Amino acid sequence: MLQIALYFALLSLVSMGGMPSVMPEMQRIVVDVQGWMSAAEFTQLFAIAQAAPGPNVLVTALIGWKVAGLAGGMVALGAFCGPAAALAYSIGGFWDRMRDAPWRKTFQRALVPVTVGFVVSGGYVLATPVGPEWRSVLIAGAAAALLVLSRLNPLWILSGGGVLGYLLF
């Protein structure tokens, strides 16, 4: 449990843009390195977090819960949210004062391609729980296209994924 806490606390500090950017790393550790669950189980836990209201960091609580029970869930969520929240708490005023600093603009621009690469990776590892085969590509591709092309509430897109999952898997 201590191991989860330390690892999630570290991930917390590099989770620029929230959960999506650290998703590939979290899945790598939980599935590949520690072997706490299979890739399919990881994707299912993520699905449960998506089906609940609230920020998708809740998936960290589910991972902790799966590994070490309810207490593990609370510890994992606290470890993942705590450091980032402390940073937000302390940096709020400073960042506003730096609004016009040139380094801030450069840094923000530098983050864009990096974040894009990370978020796409997070989507890829979640969408390929049984490897990159046609059913996953179909569901994920349709979900991505609907998000980009329509103004549908994401909840409908997720429900559609559930229906396709029922029909195909």
Partner 1 sequence: MRPPAGLWELYWGFLSIGARSFGGVLPWAHRVMVEERRWLAPGDFAEVLALCQFLPGPNVGNVSVVLGRRWFGLPGAVVAFLGLMALPLAWVFGLALLYADFSSHPEVRAVVTGVGIAGGGLFVGTAWKLAKPLMRRPWALALAVACFGALALGRVSLFQVLPVALLLGWLLARRNLA
Map the footprint of partner 1 across residues 79-108, applying CB under 8 A: 81, 83-85, 87-89, 91-92, 95-96, 106-108
Regarding 77 and contact with partner 1 (CB under 8 A), the answer is yes
Contacting partner 1 within 115-144 (CB under 8 A): 115-129, 136, 139-144
Kindly tell me which residue out of 5, 8, 12, 75 binds partner 1, with binding defined by CB under 8 A: 12
Calpha distance 52→70 (Å, rounded): 17
When asked if residue 72 is in the footprint of partner 1 (CB under 8 A), the reply is no
Compute CA distances 147 → 6, 49, 59, 126, 144, whole Å. Answer: 35, 19, 21, 16, 5
- Minimum separation from the CB atom of position 27 to partner 1 (A): 9
DSSP string over 28-64: IIIIIIS-SS-HHHHHHHHHHHHHSSS-TTHHHHHHH
- Here the tokens at position 92 are 């709020």
Residue with Cβ nearer partner 1 (1 or 37): 37
The first and second tokens of residue 39, run together, are: 């890739």
CB of 151 to partner 1, least distance (A): 11
- Residue 133 DSSP SS3: coil
Per-residue string for binding with partner 1, 32-71, x by CB under 8 A? x-------x--xxxxxxxxxxxxxxxx--xx--x----x-
